[in-house]
Every structure is written in structure tokens, then in C-alpha cells.
């Protein structure tokens, strides 16, 4: 009888300890989330580590640790954590999307596209509402990844989807304009840059890239004006000085051209010094 009581006591004690461990894992997870909200990513990771040590199959802990690592620009570490989430739950759309973003930052664009596609395949939220987050969205990220792989036609399809859902998505117009530029559709590119500028009037790079498209169409006066606007909103835009100098030179303003090339060189555009040697002495 005595041995039976000891056996029962051990079982009860073991079960109690298991419950305690589970509760502690959840507490570490919540503590980590609280620290992450306070922008203490490193502290959050320490708590996530403890939660995972207690419960190695907690997909949420791996996901949150991946987010914290990505916040610290440890994208390879983030990819490992998101991959672990997917091993635990192969239908976790957020893990695919976040891994896609991390791969994007690692310039592994093919893997990024696969992950974005998988996220939209699994989740109707990503498929139908992926453009609702203005900071990081599936279709724009996927379009950017395709553009990096020189698949500009495919990129434009994604940017079109983004614009259809959110007609005021500045980056979608801007990036679609860039892809049209690379496809030699300079007028189409200018139209997209116009729309981006209408939404965000101080968008320096949109003015600059519109200027590049105007140069291709030999509208040097229009390009000069756009490079000037780009410089107005970003005075450190070295390439704008460089290209404005070229426009001035083509418009017979040699003195103005040399001045712009000198400024471009000061800002780090070393090619401008070659133009000075060739044309300003």
C-alpha cells in the first residue's frame, strides 16, 4: 500500500511540474513581447530563448524571436526561426511572409518570391488585403524582388495589383515607373512618377527618376527642372547634380555644368571629376 502511494505521488508531482513549465514558457513569451513593444529587441530575444528552451515546439515563440532578430537586422537568424515555425506548422502564412521579407533583405529574391507566393496561397488575408499595410506588403515586396531579378514585366503585374487595391500607394507607382523605365517605356514611366509625386510632392527620387526618363526622351529642360527639384528635397543627392550638370552642358551652360559636377564630386560621385577633366579645363 505504501509503495502505491509513493507511485501516485510521483505521478501527481510530475504532472504538476509539467503544467508549471508550460505556464512559465507562456510567461517568458509574454515578457518577450512586452520588451519588444518597448523596443528592447535584445531583451525580448533572451525571453524567447527561455520560452523555447522550455517548449521547443512553440511556433509563436520562434515567430516572435524571428521578428526580433529581423528588427536587429539579423536576417539569417530570422530566416532560421521562421523556417522552424514552418516545420512546426506548414500552413503558418505569417511565417512565409516574414521569411520572404528576410530573404528580400538578404537579396535572395527567388526565395523571397516563393515565400510571398506561399503566404498568399495559404491566407486569404494576404491574397485579398495584402496592400493594407503601407510599410511592407506582399505584392510590392514581391514586385521589388522580381525587379531585382530583371523580371520587370512580372514586377509590373504585382505593382498593378497593389495599385488596384490601394490607388494611393506611392511606392507602387514609383516602383512601377522604375520597371517601365527599364523596359524603355519612358512615357509610361513618367506617368507613374507623376502620380507618385502627386501623392507625395516632396518625393526626391521620383523627381530624379522622372528626370532620367526625360533625358531618354531628350527633354533636357524638363529633366533639368526635375533634377533641381530632386536636389531641393534631398540636397545630398549626388547623382542629381551629376545629371543636372550633363543637362546644363547639353543646353550650352558650361559654367553651370562644371559647378554641378564639382558638387557631385564633393558628395561622392567620382565620375563627375572625369567630366570636369574632359570639359571644364
Tens digit of pLDDT for each residue in 151-170?
A: 889 889 888 888 887 788 88
Closest CA to 261 of 250, 49, 274, 253: 274
H or E segment to which residue 145 belongs: helix 138-148
* pLDDT tens digits, one per residue of 172-202: 899 999 999 999 999 999 999 999 999 999 9
Average pLDDT, rounded, for the chain: 86
Q: DSSP of 167-232, one letter per residue?
A: TT-HHHHHHHHHHHHHTT-HHHHHHHHHHHHHH-TT-HHHHHHHHHHHHHTT-HHHHHHHHHHHHH
Q: Tell me which range, 107-111, 133-137, 142-146, 207-211, is most confidently predicted by mean pLDDT.
A: 207-211
Tell me the mean pLDDT in the region 66-73: 94
Q: Where are the domains of the chain?
A: 201-281
Tell me the mean pLDDT in the region 241-269: 95
Q: How confident is the model at residue 23 (pLDDT cuts 50, 70, 90)?
A: low
pLDDT, residue 242, reads 96
Is residue 3's pLDDT more than 50? no
Q: How confident is the model at residue 61 (pLDDT cuts 50, 70, 90)?
A: very high
Tell me the mean pLDDT in the region 76-99: 94
Cβ contact 109:149 at 8 Å: yes
Cβ contact 228:210 at 8 Å: no
Instruction: State the pTM of this model.
Output: 0.61
pLDDT, residue 124, reads 61
% of the chain beyond a pLDDT of 90: 63
Indicate the CATH number of 201-281 among 1.25.40.10, 3.40.50.720, 2.60.120.10, 3.40.50.150: 1.25.40.10
Contacts 24+ apart (CB under 8 A), 242-245: 242/269, 242/271, 242/272, 242/275, 243/208, 243/211, 243/212, 243/215, 244/211, 245/272, 245/275
Q: How confident is the model at residue 122 (pLDDT cuts 50, 70, 90)?
A: confident
% of the chain beyond a pLDDT of 70: 86
More confident position, 29 or 127: 29
Is residue 90's pLDDT more than 60? yes
Contacts of 205 (CB under 8 A, 6+ apart): 174, 230, 234, 237
Maximum Cα–Cα distance across the chain: 108
pLDDT, residue 123, reads 73
pLDDT, residue 137, reads 60
Amino acid at each position: 500500500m505504501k509503495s502505491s502511494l509513493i507511485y501516485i505521488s510521483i505521478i501527481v508531482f510530475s504532472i504538476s511540474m509539467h503544467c508549471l513549465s508550460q505556464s512559465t514558457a507562456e510567461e517568458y513569451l509574454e515578457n518577450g513581447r512586452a520588451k519588444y513593444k518597448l523596443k528592447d529587441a535584445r531583451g525580448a530575444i533572451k525571453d524567447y530563448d527561455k520560452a523555447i528552451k522550455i517548449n521547443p515546439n512553440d511556433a509563436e515563440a520562434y515567430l516572435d524571436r524571428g521578428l526580433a532578430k529581423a528588427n536587429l537586422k539579423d536576417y539569417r537568424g530570422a530566416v532560421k526561426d521562421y523556417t522552424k515555425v514552418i516545420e512546426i506548422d506548414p500552413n503558418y502564412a505569417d511565417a512565409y511572409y516574414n521569411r520572404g521579407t528576410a530573404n528580400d533583405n538578404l537579396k535572395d529574391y527567388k526565395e523571397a518570391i516563393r515565400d510571398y507566393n506561399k503566404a498568399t496561397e495559404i491566407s486569404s488575408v494576404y491574397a485579398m488585403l495584402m496592400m493594407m499595410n503601407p510599410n511592407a506588403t506582399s505584392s510590392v515586396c514581391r514586385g521589388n524582388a522580381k525587379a531585382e531579378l530583371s523580371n520587370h514585366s512580372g514586377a509590373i503585374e504585382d505593382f498593378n495589383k497593389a495599385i488596384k487595391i490601394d490607388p494611393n500607394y506611392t511606392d507602387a507607382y514609383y516602383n512601377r515607373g522604375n520597371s517601365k523605365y527599364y523596359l524603355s517605356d519612358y512615357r509610361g514611366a513618367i506617368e507613374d512618377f507623376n502620380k507618385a509625386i502627386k501623392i507625395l510632392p516632396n518625393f526626391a527620387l521620383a523627381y530624379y527618376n522622372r528626370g532620367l526618363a526625360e533625358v531618354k526622351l531628350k527633354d533636357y529642360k524638363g529633366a533639368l527642372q526635375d533634377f533641381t527639384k530632386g536636389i531641393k528635397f534631398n540636397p545630398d543627392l549626388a547623382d542629381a547634380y551629376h545629371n543636372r550638370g550633363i543637362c546644363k552642358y547639353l543646353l550650352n551652360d558650361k559654367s553651370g555644368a562644371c559647378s554641378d559636377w564639382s558638387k557631385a564630386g564633393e558628395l561622392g560621385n567620382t565620375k563627375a571629376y572625369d567630366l570636369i577633366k574632359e570639359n571644364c579645363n
